[in-house]
């Protein structure tokens, strides 16, 4: 199992550009999520999905879109990048909704918006 994979590892965007951060898992997990990590703030939930075709907003969803067409993939789209979106992005997956399930994290994508 590759676990949770993310591409790219690093990305530099200009303000206003759009891009998609890719996330995939091969563990047949129903629950997937995106977090962003900023200095002094820990990780904050952007969007999550409880299964194919079902997505919902986390605590910091503005400026991001997601979709879940398959169990395996959960891409995060930045429609018009802003410097405030400079961050490290982590994708995560876990087997189910309940809190006791371990969350598996991808290696992260470091995004810089200039």
Which residues here bind other proteins, judged by CB under 8 A? 31, 33, 35, 40-45, 48, 50, 58-59, 88, 90, 92, 97-100, 102-103, 105, 107-108, 110
Cα angle value 99/93/98 (rounded, 5°): 20
Shortest spacing between CB 98 and other proteins, in angstroms = 6
Shortest spacing between CB 100 and other proteins, in angstroms = 5
Shortest spacing between CB 30 and other proteins, in angstroms = 11
**Size of the chain, expressed as the number of residues it contains:** 114
Alpha carbon distance, N-terminus to C-terminus of the chain: 36
CB nearer to other proteins: give 17 or 88.
Answer: 88
> Residue 27 is encoded by which pair of tokens?
């563990």
CB nearer to other proteins: give 73 or 105.
Answer: 105
Asked if 9 and 109 count as a contact pair (C-beta separation under 8 A), the reply is: yes
| Cα gap 65→75, rounded to integer Å | 8
CB nearer to other proteins: give 41 or 79.
Answer: 41
């Amino acid at each position: 199992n590759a676990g949770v994979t993310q591409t790219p590892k690093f990305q530099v965007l200009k303000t206003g550009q759009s891009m998609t951060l890719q996330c995939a898992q091969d563990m047949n997990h129903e629950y997937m999520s995106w977090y962003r990590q900023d200095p002094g703030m820990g990780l904050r939930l952007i969007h999550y999905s409880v299964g194919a075709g079902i997505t919902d907003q986390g605590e910091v969803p503005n400026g991001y879109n997601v979709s879940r067409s398959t169990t395996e993939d959960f891409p995060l789209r930045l429609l018009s990048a802003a410097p405030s979106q400079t961050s490290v992005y982590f994708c995560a997956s876990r087997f189910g909704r309940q809190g006791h399930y371990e969350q598996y994290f991808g290696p992260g994508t470091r995004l810089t918006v200039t």
